[in-house]
Structure 1
Amino acid sequence: MAGLIPQPFIDELIARSDIVDVIGSRLDLKKAGANYQALCPFHSEKTPSFTVSPSKQFYHCFGCGANGTALRFLMEYDRLEFPEAVEVLARQLGMEIPREARPREAHDSGDLYDALAEADKLYRNWLRRHPQRQRAIDYLRGRGLSGEIAADYGIGFAPPGWDNLLKSLEHLAGPLHKSGMLISRDNGGQYDRFRDRIMFPIRDRRGRVIAFGGRVLDNGEPKYLNSPETPVFHKGRELYGLHECLQAQRKPADILVVEGYMDVVALAQHDFRNAVATLGTATSTQHVERLFQTTTDVVFCFDGDRAGRQAAWRALESALPAMRDRRQARFLFLPDGEDPDSLVRHSRDAFVELLGDALPLSEFLFRELAGESDLKSMDGRARIAETAAPLIARIPPGVFRDLMIDELSSLAKVDRAHVEAVMAGDKPTTPAEKAPARPARVKTQRRTLIRVAVALLLERPTLAESALPPELVAQLSLPGADLLAEIIEILQQEPHLSSGALLERFRDSPHEAALWKLATWDHMTPSDGVEAEFVGAMEHLETLLARQRLQYLQGQLEKGNLTPEEHQEWLALLKAKGMSR
């Protein structure tokens, strides 16, 4: 749905919303000069570092780095998906989302949620009252579960028989069939998908039941059965137990990813309310991103055997694109024959100790690759460099990626230029071609013309009126020139955009993180000097453009390729520099 909401509507939504009202209805904001402050809701702190800017229409926490517009705040604080945040904000403002932006199956989806909610009530009721419930109760008690945990996770019971659900909810047969709870017979009619199973409702972040998982009560197959993919349920995106985890703590310090439903509820029984499980599928990057929206530390828990390590490696590969700064992924491997359920029941302390010893992603990656290579030999070091570099290339730019490059350079005993060339898919340079040594990393952003210009535009979008034409800026051979040109073009075409609306345009783009850094960067220009600073930056860029063009024309002249028009331009540029002959 997000892709169907017209951009002009999102712009207007942000322009008409007041971020102070939106956040102030949820946090205790205090006036602090031109801005407002509060204790950050996304990390623990005693002194307010969370700032809301009414003029720029965005918030920023100087403690944990959280930032965004009113939409982002609703997504993070109320735990909404982007389309849902748009709906909430539009409803508050009395705005109607354009009809073409609404999902075609919105009504059908509502019917599915209603039908699944009724099925959930029925399964839970059957666990309490059905004549054949005792086997299910004995099984749960045998696994050490209390009635409280069973209730918290909504565990239910699907009794034996082909059509218990169908008969009880016959009036909902259509949406139940569409949700995968009923299956069509070849000769007509329908029957229940889940029969004689312990039932685990799968909830989305808003707590709505979107699917079920069922654990068989005898030796039948499959042992675990999941709902199929539906308009409201996508296995590669949803996580069992995430809603319950967030009910227990809004911002958990870490989240443990385990293999199955029983592992999640067994850990909850022992006060580990921060466990989730994937739904019969490998961990995806979408899963990892969803977890990192909630915590900064994800711990993957696997068996220590070969299959477990292979699953862990797949999880690592999925996690790499999500490993932005301030995020941590770790890997916990269980002793042979143990699962989280059995281990925590045997010794809670032993499980806590294992959690503390979980391997950081970087250590797991290099340990696994080093085990496949002889680092004492040149061939082995070459192998680890060639294998690890493409993996590191999948990590977003930032401190973590830089440190991973440094570590690989050290292990393989090659310089950064070699590793970066392999990451880029280029042939590494020879010593004679080697580029100058890369300067040491600095903690603060270097003050370049492009960065200053972008930062000033983010602070005061109306400055775009005095900017160079975007097509000229795009010709500059400077890092970030294309981005600056894009921002200028957007603001010149739509001068009404606020800072927040402009930043919202770059949601989920490769530039999003960099732009937020610049939006909150101290560019060291006083407010009364912002316009003069921006005009000066444009003049400097114009001078650089002239020099760049002169260099090109000089090259053409030396090759004898200069046209008469270009010759006149060359003379004019020389004269402008005071270099005419």
Structure 2
Amino acid sequence: MSLSPQWLDELRARTSLSTLIGKTVKVQKAGREYKACCPFHNEKTPSFTINDEKGFYHCFGCGAHGDAIRWMTDHRGLPFMEAVKELAATAGMEVPAADPRAAKRAEQAKGLHEAMAAAQSFFEDQLGGLDGADARAYLHKRGITDATRRAFGLGYSSDARGKLKTALRDFGEPMLIEAGLLIDPEGERESYDRFRGRLMLPIRDIRGRVIAFGGRILGTGEPKYLNSPDTPLFDKGRTLYNIDRASPASRSAGRIIVVEGYMDVIALAQAGFAEAVAPLGTALTEHQIERLWKMADVPILCFDGDTAGQKAAIRAAARALPLLRPGLSLCFATLPTGQDPDDLIRAEGPGAMEAVLAAAEPLVERLWRHEQNTVPLDTPEQRAALKQRLAAHTGAIQHPDVKAHYVQAFRERYDALFFARPAASPSPRHQRGQGWQRDRRGNWKPPLPPVGKEAHAIGASGMEQRLLRAILASLLRHPEQIVIHREALCSLRIADPHLARLLEAMIAASFGKETVETDGLLTILGQGEVYNMAKGMLRADTFTFTPHRTAADSDRALRDLNEAIRVMAQGPELETALAEATRRAKDNLTEETFAEQQRAHRLKMDHDRRLAELAQSEDII
């Protein structure tokens, strides 16, 4: 298919950008332009402008910029050709066909889409009729409201073998068989309805067109869920349930959530989590992971806490490893054992679900924890086997930089678990890399700030201050963690002089002794404001990463501490990268520099969001 620049210009000219954007965003007239709160980042004061005459939108806050086609790809999440086709249909334009065969396929697909739409309408009517009483009772029992039922287009297929076939006979049996609505048995028997006696859940493509169905049995019988077969419209390995609604929602939420099934998605949407999707009865495929990355850099995979759910999480992790690229990964949220999203939300409310999502583990941490807990690690042979399993994971990663970081991350965790901590004095790498040196009295002192280059001072805002205090309070209570995180801690610059002095004392003590103790740290501080502050941090009511449910939560508290230090140390690096990318885009605005600046901005926003989540975590008590 060839789309000339002239044809695309005509498409843009026929599209009212303010009307297009106004379908999902509240816009206001402002002179010759329109304004709105930017849908690409959270803001209270409108900085997003729409110019119909010039045919572009621009956000002065985050830099989002584009035309009608870019709006459809970036906000709606449509592929380029799907965006063009939808805009052309609205504008009354014919999309040029590449050749007669392509035109024939397009016409055939059009007929199949019409058949699926008719089937969807038929199933909805059946749900509202006499035959749909059991299905309505099931939805009521599950707490599904009428508004949610209509939003998802739920329906019902009666137990009769030919009711749909009769209702849609004008399409002809061959088309209904090709659409997967009828089963064509071998021999001389007649075709019959595929779905019978089931709650019907339409599966839509990114443009919102019905391409398949999932049917849930209402009584006893197998399978519990029956999906349409693969058809010219439907490939279950490339499709995600609810992608048409979740894709635009993910732009506003800044995340995409992957759950296990249809009803999980529906329950989440009803509770306010519109950015949820589900695979269609199989493990996540490579195509589905790539599609998720078009919506968010780090999708959240939310699985049940039982054995099956955790196995599914590890299968997804293994499937993703060869695909990993800088900035693109997965993270994993685990539901309480025995509960699905609907159970959790109905029992404890949406806040409980949000807490589960906020506690999601990075991919590297989930793999490490899984391999560490798979078998006992009591003997040298078992420990060596752990090392081999970790090496198999890193060996699957194709991108060299990502692989190197995973190798380092696993090595650090492995060494911290099995080998002695570093010796008393720092390694040459620490001395050169972080600049710590001994003074005339032999005490370790931090480096001076770089001349002529201002770095971001951590702890200047309330959010950073709260998280930083939690980190330092945790290190006071668990001083053995200082050595493990010393390199990251050395990179921090802290605005508050008392907190800075406390951290310096911790790092200096870790250089001077192999084993650091809380009492020893207090002795080093002596009397004064910093000493009193440290004593106050050891009170029971101080913010700190502390297990608060069971003894098993101690590992989680340390994982949260690890991530908090990592995120805190990452901030200045991301801020510098964003400033540099912005400078390059300003000096020479090209598609490449603009994309680089947008990516740096997204990474910084993701970092800030995660920092806020950690600062507000229930684990900080």
Q: Provide TM-score, normalisation by structure 1.
A: 0.61
Residue 157 of structure 1 and its aligned partner are, at CA, apart by 0.9
Q: Name the CA shift for 1:87/1:346 in 2 (closer, same or farther; >3 Å).
A: closer
Mean CA deviation greater in 240-249 or 152-161: 240-249
1:75 and 2:76 equivalent? no
Matching residue of 1:367: 369
For residue 395 of structure 2, the aligned residue among 390, 394, 405 is 390
For 2:215 and 2:263, locate their aligned partners in 1 and report how far apart those are by CA, in whole Å: 11
For 1:381 and 1:37, locate their aligned partners in 2 and report how far apart those are by CA, in whole Å: 56
For 2:28 and 2:128, locate their aligned partners in 1 and report how far apart those are by CA, in whole Å: 46
In the TM superposition, 1:45-444 aligns within 5 A as: 45-46=43-44, 71-87=69-85, 97-100=96-99, 102=102, 104-130=104-130, 132-173=131-172, 174-185=174-185, 186-245=187-246, 251-320=252-321, 329-348=330-349, 350-372=352-374, 374=377, 379=384, 382-383=387-388, 385-391=390-396, 393-394=397-398, 403-413=405-415
Matching residue of 1:516: 595
Query: Which structure has the higher relative contact order (CA within 8 Å, separation 6+)?
Result: 1
For 1:52 and 1:338, locate their aligned partners in 2 and report how far apart those are by CA, in whole Å: 45
Residue 272 of structure 1 and its aligned partner are, at CA, apart by 3.7
Q: Name the CA shift for 1:12/1:158 in 2 (closer, same or farther; >3 Å).
A: same
For 1:151 and 1:347, locate their aligned partners in 2 and report how far apart those are by CA, in whole Å: 26
Q: Name the CA shift for 1:67/1:229 in 2 (closer, same or farther; >3 Å).
A: farther
Count of residues in correspondence between the two structures: 434
Q: Which runs of 5+ in 1 are unaligned?
A: 415-435, 461-498, 504-513, 522-581
Residue 407 of structure 1 and its aligned partner are, at CA, apart by 1.7
C-alpha contact 2:135 2:156 (8 A) present in aligned 1: yes
For 1:317 and 1:402, locate their aligned partners in 2 and report how far apart those are by CA, in whole Å: 17
Matching residue of 2:429: none
Q: Name the CA shift for 1:188/1:382 in 2 (closer, same or farther; >3 Å).
A: closer
1:358 maps to amino acid: A
For 1:405 and 1:52, locate their aligned partners in 2 and report how far apart those are by CA, in whole Å: 47
- The CA deviation string for residues 165-184 of structure 1, in whole angstroms up to 9 with x for no partner, is 01111112343221100111
- The CA deviation string for residues 316-365 of structure 1, in whole angstroms up to 9 with x for no partner, is 23444665566563222333333333333333354443333332222112
- The CA deviation string for residues 386-420 of structure 1, in whole angstroms up to 9 with x for no partner, is 223224x346857xx77545423423559xxxxxx
Q: Name the CA shift for 1:459/1:254 in 2 (closer, same or farther; >3 Å).
A: closer
Q: Name the CA shift for 1:207/1:390 in 2 (closer, same or farther; >3 Å).
A: same
Matching residue of 2:42: 44
Matching residue of 2:567: none
C-alpha contact 2:286 2:319 (8 A) present in aligned 1: yes
C-alpha contact 2:57 2:66 (8 A) present in aligned 1: yes
- The CA deviation string for residues 154-199 of structure 1, in whole angstroms up to 9 with x for no partner, is 1111111110001111112343221100111331431100011111
For 1:64 and 1:395, locate their aligned partners in 2 and report how far apart those are by CA, in whole Å: 29
C-alpha contact 1:38 1:48 (8 A) present in aligned 2: yes
For 2:235 and 2:117, locate their aligned partners in 1 and report how far apart those are by CA, in whole Å: 17
Matching residue of 1:465: none
**How high is the sequence identity, in percent, across the aligned residues?**
36
C-alpha contact 2:123 2:157 (8 A) present in aligned 1: yes
Matching residue of 2:617: none
1:283 maps to amino acid: L
- The CA deviation string for residues 111-161 of structure 1, in whole angstroms up to 9 with x for no partner, is 11111111111111111113x322222222222222222222111111111
C-alpha contact 2:259 2:302 (8 A) present in aligned 1: yes
Q: Name the CA shift for 1:30/1:351 in 2 (closer, same or farther; >3 Å).
A: closer
Q: Name the CA shift for 1:517/1:291 in 2 (closer, same or farther; >3 Å).
A: same
Residue 203 of structure 1 and its aligned partner are, at CA, apart by 1.5
Q: Name the CA shift for 1:405/1:71 in 2 (closer, same or farther; >3 Å).
A: farther
Residue 103 of structure 1 and its aligned partner are, at CA, apart by 5.4
2:216 maps to amino acid: R
For 1:78 and 1:268, locate their aligned partners in 2 and report how far apart those are by CA, in whole Å: 17
Residue 278 of structure 1 and its aligned partner are, at CA, apart by 1.1
**Matched residue SS, 1:236:** coil
C-alpha contact 1:300 1:329 (8 A) present in aligned 2: yes
For 2:343 and 2:18, locate their aligned partners in 1 and report how far apart those are by CA, in whole Å: 46
For 1:459 and 1:20, locate their aligned partners in 2 and report how far apart those are by CA, in whole Å: 31
**Matched residue SS, 2:392:** helix
Residue 41 of structure 1 and its aligned partner are, at CA, apart by 2.9
**Matched residue SS, 1:254:** coil
Residue 227 of structure 1 and its aligned partner are, at CA, apart by 0.5
C-alpha contact 1:236 1:287 (8 A) present in aligned 2: yes
Matching residue of 1:432: none
Q: Cα RMSD over matched residues? A: 4.9
1:516 maps to amino acid: A
C-alpha contact 1:301 1:334 (8 A) present in aligned 2: yes
For 2:271 and 2:36, locate their aligned partners in 1 and report how far apart those are by CA, in whole Å: 35
Matching residue of 2:479: none
**Matched residue SS, 1:251:** helix
- The CA deviation string for residues 473-501 of structure 1, in whole angstroms up to 9 with x for no partner, is xxxxxxxxxxxxxxxxxxxxxxxxxx66x
For 2:207 and 2:127, locate their aligned partners in 1 and report how far apart those are by CA, in whole Å: 24
For 2:252 and 2:214, locate their aligned partners in 1 and report how far apart those are by CA, in whole Å: 26
For 1:346 and 1:297, locate their aligned partners in 2 and report how far apart those are by CA, in whole Å: 28
2:147 maps to amino acid: E
Residue 280 of structure 1 and its aligned partner are, at CA, apart by 1.4
Q: Name the CA shift for 1:518/1:224 in 2 (closer, same or farther; >3 Å).
A: closer
For 1:40 and 1:445, locate their aligned partners in 2 and report how far apart those are by CA, in whole Å: 23
**Matched residue SS, 1:189:** coil
Q: Name the CA shift for 1:225/1:170 in 2 (closer, same or farther; >3 Å).
A: same
2:79 maps to amino acid: E
C-alpha contact 2:250 2:256 (8 A) present in aligned 1: no
Q: Provide TM-score, normalisation by structure 2.
A: 0.57
- The CA deviation string for residues 55-88 of structure 1, in whole angstroms up to 9 with x for no partner, is xx99987966867786444312344222122335
For 1:518 and 1:334, locate their aligned partners in 2 and report how far apart those are by CA, in whole Å: 36
Matching residue of 2:454: none
C-alpha contact 2:259 2:265 (8 A) present in aligned 1: yes
C-alpha contact 1:321 1:396 (8 A) present in aligned 2: no
Q: Name the CA shift for 1:145/1:165 in 2 (closer, same or farther; >3 Å).
A: same
